[in-house]
Amino acid sequence: MNGLTRLYRTYRVGTTAARLWSMYKVPATLRRWTGRPERTNEELEPVNERASAVLLDLAFDLRGVIIKMCQAIATRSDRFPPSFIDQLKQCHDAVPSKPFEVVKVHVERELGKSLDEAFHSFEPEPIASASLAQVHAAVLHDGSKVAVKVQYPDIQEIVQTDLRNMRRACRIYEWLDPQPLELLPLLEELAKHISYELDFEREADSADRVRELFKNNDTVVVPRIHRELSTKRVLVMELVSGTKITEKNAILEMGLTPRDVLQDLMHIFVHMIMADGFFQADPHPGNLMVTPEGRIIVLDFGLSKELPDGFGLGLFELMFSMMTLNEAAMIKAFTALGFQTKTGDTKTFVAIARRMMRRSDTGRFEGEFTEEMTDELFDAIREDPVVSVPSDFVLVGRVFSLLSGIAHTLGHRANVLQAMGAGSPG
Amino acid sequence: MGLCFVRSSLIGAKASGIMSESPEPGRLVYTPKELLSDGEYAEPLYAGGVLCHGGFESDGAYRPPRTLHRTPAIAAWQGQIGAGGGELVTISDEQVPPQYPSVDQAKLLLKAGVREPIVRALTVISILEGFGAIIRDVRVPDLKELLLEPFDGTALAHLDKGLFEAHARDEAGYRDQGGHKQMWEAARDLALENPTVPSDVFMRLMGDRGRARGGGDPLFPQLDKKLYRMLMMMSQVLVIEVFARGTFEWGIDVLSDPEVSAEPEKAGTMVRYIQADESPHVEYLRTGLSEIRTRTLRTVDGKTIAGREVVDGILHHILHRMRESRPREQRDDTRNALIAAVDAGEAKKSLLEDFDAMAPEWDRPERTGFEPQAA
Ligand SMILES: Nc1ncnc2c1ncn2[C@@H]1O[C@H](COP(=O)(O)OP(=O)(O)O)[C@@H](O)[C@H]1O
Ligand SMILES: [Fe+2]
Ligand SMILES: [Fe+2]
């Protein structure tokens, strides 16, 4: 990637930010100055539509980290207006793809043989294209159908540029904001995660590990990996098919019960986090499908991670203390999970837990980490910058709030305690 | 039916308490606040330095938490059932499977210095006690619509007016007071001197198979869903509570043996307190189920069904399943932990053989006592 591209990316991010600013902040400020009321949600709808189109355009153009951000927005129907969700949903799997010629050259270079040698046939049109890679259907010489996940050729450099831009933006922000949220460490986490996702050998290992964990559980499908045709940048795996997990009507049409599907889904992720200590940390709807038999397909093990020993027990104790409003136990659990305060004043933890509970639907903690609650946690921490959060907790919190989002779409709730087997019988 | 909530022979507690806001025997209607109230204790209970629920009278006797009104209330509701010619649902002692590992097996392991399986068993007990709190999330249906007969002044009328909540608080603790979860942890930590808790307890608890989906078709599809779910939950918890009798005896026996316990007196007593607390749980649940049993339920298809048929059907189903599954799960759990210890070179192979030779035998009774009656 040359300097010009780098300059272009920086320019695109900057001008888009300016456009969004002019759509929202400028009119709001003008209104305040002229004493007119804030725009209603209805009045904002056309603005939202334009703004989300602008964002989508940027994401499709630049991919990389920007897409990651838009994917995050698209899972937050609680926080963002419908037009944002509708538009940015496309970032999960409908990003315009790289032309076949580019892909072909890249795959052949990676595998060290021609496409014809490696595959019986190869679909030129991808099934999906996302932030870092696109996926093509193909058939091997033995007739097995496979999905070929191909990293965008120049993605490694693109990511480096994006991260550099964002680091710069963070520094400016920290300089401007009198009480800045510590964004840089978070960004370094993101950088680490993206580097995991760009290593397909690691992804193949993770997929194998999760498949092994669930070898006795036939509600889970993890596509098999064809190691002999995979490299760090190309991943060939069994082709699977199913319905997207958030398509409630399609699930009903297959004769399945969304509630059962959700229960299985919750069981799988809660099992990984609480029992196995190794988990797929990215359950966004693009990575989850349901087969006609009601099995859950889990895809995309790029972001998979091991949890420290005892994390499950610590998380259980935290949920428990919140459920029973036991403050001494909350402090113990937060501390055991690795939360720290710079001043050593642990009352802060209690205040944080209280704020989270206040945001739950019932005002109590019943076992579900809703998106609102996870957000509240991070808001609370931003306002009280003496607290530092263990990065594993951030990832797990995100998993639970993604699951909660899926549950809401299916018309149910994502209760972690229930998924641990404490559910009502029958 | 004589009420014996507190095993006075064991702990010398009295169920009655003369307080400022004295309970009135025979009263049938209570506020949630009353059902949750402790009255006053001369001294609180501490378990391993953690404040817990319940407390001591001035004569030193332990009185379970939230029983100031709950105990006389349950007695009064039970009295009504008898007076109306009904009987209280009773799960007989012979239905209770033996605890696995048995007392002898547990002591064998502890004496051999193999503690992990017992630490694990005690930890699982404490976690399961804590999970008991989800009973507060049971949704109680509109019983006025679903029952033909009136039910004012019954346990049924108080389920979501204090009874479920009191139960949840007893099990999991509430605010700054620990409950059974913390009390079992304390007993474990006292007796076995703060052992390291195995970090994979949830692996065993959650199993490695997929979740059995809702246990198949409902037994009574014609029942209102909420009502059915509530009755299933109450019956399941009742069976668990009754089975727990064996667990308490086991815990007291093992943890108060000075040969294997570092704090025989304190640890054993702690389990006795927990045991005393459980009586109101068994009693209110069997009372509520008995009240359903003497009434008629409306079904969703506009017909009716005898409560007796429903309650007995559910209890039979659950007892039948759990009599078999519970000892099996307990056995697998402990044996697997022991086998792991043998594999890791922490225990001799002969220990496993001795352990297996001591396996408790159980003649499972033919009948559950809730078989559907011949038409
Ligand atoms: N084995 C597979 N079989 C069928 N479709 C697949 C397979 N793997 C990926 N896909 C499709 O490709 C999309 C993107 O793949 P994914 O591994 O999630 O990539 P990314 O890491 O870029 O999100 C998925 O949402 C899914 O639609
Ligand atoms: Fe209990
Ligand atoms: Fe109980």
How many angstroms does the Cα of residue A287 sit away from the middle of ligand 1? Answer: 7
pLDDT in tens, B45-56: 998 888 999 999
Q: What is the pLDDT of residue B21?
A: 63
pLDDT in tens, A247-265: 999 999 999 999 999 999 9
Q: What is the pLDDT of residue B62?
A: 95
Cβ distance B176 to A420 less than 8 Å, yes or no, reads no
- pLDDT score of A48 more than 70: yes
Q: What is the pLDDT of residue A305?
A: 93
Question: Any idea what the Cα angle at residue A381 is, between residues A376 and A385, rounded to 5°?
Answer: 160
Other CB atoms closer than 10 Å to residue B321's CB: what's the count? 14
Nearest residue, CB atoms, A327 vs list B176, B199, B232: B176
Chain B partners of A264 at a C-beta cutoff of 8 Å? 210-211, 213
- pLDDT score of A204 more than 80: yes
Residue of chain B whose Cα is closest to the Cα of A219: B210
Q: What is the pLDDT of residue A45?
A: 81
**A67-104 residues labelled b (16+ CB within 10 A) or e (exposed):** bbbbbebbbbbeeebebbbebbbbbbbebebbeeeebb
Residues in chain B: 375
Q: Which has more pLDDT, B255 or A10?
A: B255
How near does any CA of chain B get to the CA of A420, in Å?
6
Q: Is B91-357 a domain of CATH 1.10.10?
A: no
Per DSSP, B68 falls in state T
Is A375 catalytic? The answer is no
Structure tokens at B133: 């709190």
* Strand order, beta sheet including A243-244: A220-221, A296-298, A288-290, A243-244
Chain B partners of A277 at a C-beta cutoff of 8 Å? 199-200
Per DSSP, the three-state class of A138 is strand
How many angstroms does the Cα of residue A116 sit away from the middle of ligand 2? Answer: 66
Q: Are A170 and A326 in contact (CB under 8 A)?
A: no
Domains along chain A with CATH numbers: 3-94+157-183 (no CATH), 96-153+199-240 (3.30.200.20), 246-426 (no CATH)
A366 Cβ under 8 Å from any chain B Cβ:
yes
Interface-testing mutation among A212, A313, A326, A347, with chain B (most B C-beta atoms within 10 A): A326
How many angstroms does the Cα of residue B278 sit away from the middle of ligand 2? Answer: 6
Cβ distance B176 to A328 less than 8 Å, yes or no, reads yes
Domain locations in chain B as residue ranges = 91-357
Q: What is the pLDDT of residue B1?
A: 35
Which of 204-223 (B) contact A at CB < 8 A?
205-211, 213-215, 218-219
Residues in chain A: 426
Q: Are B51 and B176 in contact (CB under 8 A)?
A: yes
Distance separating alpha carbons of residues B121 and B333, to the nearest angstrom: 8
DSSP string, A3-42: HHHHHHHHHHHHHHHHHHHHHHHHHHHHHHHHTPPPPPHH
Most confident of A35-49, A76-90, A214-228, B3-17: A214-228
Residue of chain B whose Cα is closest to the Cα of A296: B210
A317 Cβ under 8 Å from any chain B Cβ:
no
Nearest residue, CB atoms, B203 vs list A219, A276, A366: A276
Query: Which ligand is in closest contact with the Cα of B183?
Result: 2
Q: Which has more pLDDT, A292 or A386?
A: A292
Q: Print pLDDT tens along chain B (375 aa).
A: 333 333 333 333 334 444 446 778 889 999 999 999 998 999 999 988 889 999 999 999 999 999 999 999 999 999 999 888 889 999 999 999 999 999 999 999 999 999 999 999 999 999 988 888 889 889 999 999 999 999 999 999 999 999 999 999 999 999 989 999 999 999 999 999 999 998 888 887 887 776 555 556 889 999 999 999 999 999 999 999 999 988 999 999 999 999 999 999 999 999 999 999 999 999 999 999 999 999 999 999 999 999 999 999 999 999 999 999 888 888 988 898 899 999 998 889 999 999 999 998 888 899 999 998 754
Q: Model confidence at A410, in pLDDT bands (50, 70, 90)? A: very high
Distance separating alpha carbons of residues A350 and A352, to the nearest angstrom: 5
Chain B partners of A419 at a C-beta cutoff of 8 Å? 211
Q: Whose CA is nearest to atom 17 of ligand 1?
A: A300
Ligand 1, from A243, A244, A300: best to mutate by most atoms within 8 Å of Cβ?
Answer: A300
Residue B147's identity, in one-letter code, is L
**B352-369 residues labelled b (16+ CB within 10 A) or e (exposed):** beebeeebbeeeeeeebe
What would the mean pLDDT of A275-287 be, rounded to a whole number? Answer: 93
Distance separating alpha carbons of residues A151 and A234, to the nearest angstrom: 6
